[in-house]
Structure 1
Amino acid sequence: MPLVRTPLPRARWFRSAVLVAASAGLVAAALPAPAPLGIGDPLFPHLGNPGYDVLAYDLDLTYRGVNTEPLAAVTRIDAVATEDLERLNLDFTHGTVSAVTVDGLPAAHTGSGEDLVITPVAPIDAGESVEITVTHTSDPSGPADTGGWVRTGDGLAMANQADAAHRVFPSNDHPADKAYFTFRITAPSELTAVANGLPAGRVTRGATTTWTYRTRHPMATELAQVSIGRSTVVHRAGPHGLPVRDVVRTADRDLMEPWLRKTPGHLEWMERQVGPYPFETYGVLVADADTGFELETQTLSLFERGLFTEPGYPEWYVDSIMVHELAHQWFGNSVSPRTWSDLWLNEGHASWYEALYAEETAGKSLERRMKAAYAASDGWRADGGPPAAPEPPSPTHKISLFRPVVYDGSALVLYALRQEIGTEAFQRLERRWVADHRDGTATTADFTALASEIAGRDLTAFFRGWLYEAKTPAMPGHPDWRSTPAGAARTTPKPG
């Protein structure tokens, strides 16, 4: 009986063995010069890469205890080719690559712009699975406003939105390509490492400990989170027994408890609005860092320590910002934007539930806030473009994409929609939206279509005016509201 072997990920080993000595050079000579690619996102033209779909990332990071020194790293990527590829590009910058393999065989590689361009020894056919392994460094040095690693008072955290994950690890760095993640973080044993998802093991060898975490749901690269520091992980139960874990400086454990214990109630409130929480765990990461923003990293939202310690912030405001980042777990994380121009669906919804929570729990009028936003809306549109067609961010300051028009300017669109179709239909739309697109990506056109279906009439013209026009349409039910270029209700949004 002949021996039957299970095929390896790509059954081209005979071809590869024949080609390994000469093929890399021959293929490289026949191909054009390496160049950065992209998937055509209007706001980030070189972000993402065509030709493959990432299924999973496996990140090994070794931190030696100094947050200004590069980490040693290995990134393994499981993907499926969606077209024939003689080369493939990964987004990667701000690190040094020492080796690349494709299906276990060494592959030629070079940098071009912010891409790592890889030439395997044999072409990859459409439909084939492929495993890419990159040995590299991950450098936390550099300006804080470029994103990626955030240096904290006792270690590191991540802030990758919108296009900075590839400053940390090689990736297809666009939310249109979500994948499962495994993190293995090795650090001095006196430190604690935490990442997205749930713990999957911890091993101590001598003076170091390796912590493993895995996600149970696909995730956009911009939502990856790794925290390393002198931290305590605080556990409690959320709705339906959901594991809630918060990460704080050990020295701040008691100081932060009045805020940490609010999260189960926040979760219950959000579930009443839009349905079940979409992930396997949730919690807040309070970082000793001055970022200027908070960030909805999946299952573990990043907050500045100063948000909770600055006496100038009233309790109701901090409370509502916590709800803002929690709301993103549904809007932006579970349902991710297909392109960055769909960002209004993330930030508009998070700002909407932030404002609704403040009204219900602290008596802060939603209508008054929306009237102020309406007054500022034409000015916001002039400064940053309309909600669904924002102007590109500055090349040297990518966070400038997050202008007021995508926060309260986009929550205003949802307020107008509720006025247009009624509260009951609006609530059904919100629940359907997060249920229909859970763990996926969606577009403004998808939202328009679903809203039209639930309203029982075509809302294309309504959304065209509210999302794409330079001037703000008349507010349904409030014909007296006026918008002028001067003034702004909320010119420097805090949340992410």
Structure 2
Amino acid sequence: MPLTPRLRARRTKAALLTSAVSVCLIAASAPSPAVPLGVGDRLFPHLGNPGYDVRSYDLAFTYPGDNLKPLTAVTTIDARTTSPLERVNLDFAHGKVSSVEVDGSPAAFTTAGEDLVITPREPLPAGSRTRITVRHTSDPVYTGDAEGGWVRTADGLAMANQADAAHVVFPCNDHPSDKALFTVRVTVPDGYTAVSNGLDAGTRRGPRTTTWTYRTEHPMATELAQVSIGRSAVVRRSGPDGLPVRDVVPAKDRERLEPWLAKTPAQIAWMERKVGRYPFETYGVLIAEAQTGFELETQTLSLFERELFVRPEYPKWYIESIMVHELAHQWFGNSVSPRTWSDLWLNEGHATWYEALYAEETAGRPMEARMKAAYGASDRWRAAGGPPAAPKVPKADHKIGIFRPNVYDGAALVLYALREEIGRPAFERLQRAWVAVHRDGVASTADFQRLATRIAGRDLDTFFQGWLHGERTPPMPGHPDWKTAPAEASAKRKTGK
């Protein structure tokens, strides 16, 4: 029977409706596009990733013997999900990924911004343990704006990952709020030595290679990872209470650098008298023949430029105080890590404080004179970089720009004001309590304020608001004659991160 115009119209409408519903169902079932994520850090909004907590990293690097060529690498991450995940984002911005497995099964992957976005075969439920294995390259030659990661040295490589460059080297959750244990395996050609954070866990000899393995006994932020590859000498000695002290230096400079290396045990003992027992399983200095412009507190093995120790214009007291700066970070920044990068002043302010205190007690360089000079420059530092606890956001092409004077001497000035405000005994109790209460964890500016208030036994909100967040520097307690004024930028060499 032929269709009437009315029936034809009805069937046409029905067909169009069915088609529209089908399109909507297809659209609803299609996965959303992969996007870069972050944990919402004010200074680095795309660092870190939500939905999981990393428990451990296992990093395996194979060095080809040429620091211009990529290393082959395998990164294995053990994590616990904190929410249901259809995808897992890892920070990884440089290198080629050849395969990904999730819990032993191949997984699809793509990139979005500086994220590696992984789609497991099955969604991961909240509260589950998962293992992610990424096979990739790790390239020391940069093509973007990265300002860290692998550092080429005269005889190999070292790492400088602060603040946001660990994910240039290996896939990770690259934010200090997610600390984890690390195992690092490095395979190098004969004649090279590889050293990493933590303790030596054995070596395996091959026909023409050696694989060195290291493990940390305490959790570590990704920005503090260190791998040194070079023709190095490893110098061992004992520190306080038998602490293993291990230094890594160019083999050709072993004897020349020994007078500096020998100072570390006494420096550790000095810090222990101030704030308590050293928080990790080992310590030492890594002296690299490289041009970085800074020193760096990588956990258990601080990175230093060779030129700091061999150039004659740096006075002895200055070099020793910089060594103490990086050592102090093992307590302040490494054992107690910042919850966000706006809490950086807690790292650098304390390291600068003990740097200055060491210079005062061992070299007659008065703390008060340094703090008075800092007070004079403080308003200019705040205008340029923001208050100590609210640094200005770094420019896109200068990510390490958060390391400004306001979080070094400017933050040490806050600690000096606090000591003047609550008295030396309460201040010293606060220092010891801070590193004891938050050992192996993360902590914030608010945590520090609460602990200081409890130990002082009185309200310090007004004090901290002005000193940590104010646009202008408050009056210095006990020093009404101190004045702030514009000052010329210091020509002093940057002390370190």
Structure 1 and Structure 2 fold alike (TM over 0.5): yes
Query: Displacement of 1:189 after TM fit?
Result: 1.8
What residue in structure 1 maps to residue 285 of structure 2?
284
Instruction: Deviation per CA, 1:116-163: give whole Å up to 9, x if none.
Output: 000101000100000000000000012796100000000000000000
Query: Displacement of 1:485 after TM fit?
Result: 3.0
Q: In structure 2, what is the Cα distance between the partners aligned to 1:365 and 1:397? A: 34
Query: Displacement of 1:399 after TM fit?
Result: 1.4
Instruction: Deviation per CA, 1:24-68: give whole Å up to 9, x if none.
Output: xx9996321000000000000000000000000000100010001
What residue in structure 2 maps to residue 127 of structure 1?
127
Q: In structure 2, what is the Cα distance between the partners aligned to 1:138 and 1:366? A: 44
Query: Displacement of 1:495 after TM fit?
Result: 1.3
Q: In structure 1, what is the Cα distance between the partners aligned to 2:55 and 2:462? A: 38
Distance 1:392 1:251, change over 3 A: same
Q: Which 5+ residue runs of structure 1 have no aligned equivalent?
A: 1-25
What residue in structure 2 maps to residue 116 of structure 1?
116
Q: In structure 2, what is the Cα distance between the partners aligned to 1:333 and 1:432? A: 16
Q: Which 5+ residue runs of structure 2 have no aligned equivalent?
A: 1-25
What residue in structure 2 maps to residue 93 of structure 1?
93
- Contact 1:373–1:488 at 8 Å: present in 2 too? no
What residue in structure 1 maps to residue 373 of structure 2?
372
Q: In structure 2, what is the Cα distance between the partners aligned to 1:130 and 1:111? A: 20
- Code of the residue aligned with 1:494 in structure 2: it is T
Q: In structure 1, what is the Cα distance between the partners aligned to 2:487 and 2:254? A: 44
Query: Displacement of 1:492 after TM fit?
Result: 5.3
What residue in structure 2 maps to residue 172 of structure 1?
173
Query: Displacement of 1:337 after TM fit?
Result: 0.0
Q: In structure 1, what is the Cα distance between the partners aligned to 2:30 and 2:121? A: 13
What residue in structure 1 maps to residue 51 of structure 2?
51
Q: In structure 2, what is the Cα distance between the partners aligned to 1:348 and 1:105? A: 46
Q: In structure 2, what is the Cα distance between the partners aligned to 1:341 and 1:426? A: 23
- Code of the residue aligned with 1:237 in structure 2: it is S
Runs of 4 or more consecutive aligned structure 1 residues displaced over 4 Å after TM superposition? 26-29, 488-492
Structural mapping, 1:308-327, within 5 Å: 308-327=309-328
Q: In structure 2, what is the Cα distance between the partners aligned to 1:402 and 1:27? A: 46
Q: In structure 2, what is the Cα distance between the partners aligned to 1:62 and 1:78? A: 21
- Code of the residue aligned with 1:438 in structure 2: it is R
What residue in structure 2 maps to residue 225 of structure 1?
226
Q: Provide the aligned length of Structure 1 versus Structure 2.
A: 471
Q: In structure 2, what is the Cα distance between the partners aligned to 1:382 and 1:429? A: 29
> Structure 1 residue 305 and structure 2 residue 274: aligned?
no
Q: In structure 2, what is the Cα distance between the partners aligned to 1:386 and 1:232? A: 43
- Contact 1:379–1:488 at 8 Å: present in 2 too? no
Q: In structure 2, what is the Cα distance between the partners aligned to 1:84 and 1:304? A: 45
Instruction: Deviation per CA, 1:311-361: give whole Å up to 9, x if none.
Output: 110000000000000000000000000000000000000000000000000
RMSD: 1.4
What residue in structure 1 maps to residue 136 of structure 2?
136
- Contact 2:146–2:168 at 8 Å: present in 1 too? no
- When the two structures are superposed, what TM-score results if normalisation uses the length of structure 2? 0.93
Instruction: Deviation per CA, 1:203-255: give whole Å up to 9, x if none.
Output: 11100000000000000000000000000000000000000000000000001
Q: In structure 1, what is the Cα distance between the partners aligned to 2:436 and 2:311? A: 37
- When the two structures are superposed, what TM-score results if normalisation uses the length of structure 1? 0.93
What residue in structure 2 maps to residue 347 of structure 1?
348
- Code of the residue aligned with 1:421 in structure 2: it is I
Q: In structure 2, what is the Cα distance between the partners aligned to 1:492 and 1:390? A: 21
State, as a whole percentage, how many aligned pairs show the same letter: 69
Query: Displacement of 1:419 after TM fit?
Result: 0.1
- Contact 2:166–2:172 at 8 Å: present in 1 too? yes
Instruction: Deviation per CA, 1:391-428: give whole Å up to 9, x if none.
Output: 11121121111000000000000000000000000000
- Code of the residue aligned with 1:327 in structure 2: it is A
- Contact 1:373–1:489 at 8 Å: present in 2 too? no
| SS of equivalent to 2:401 | helix
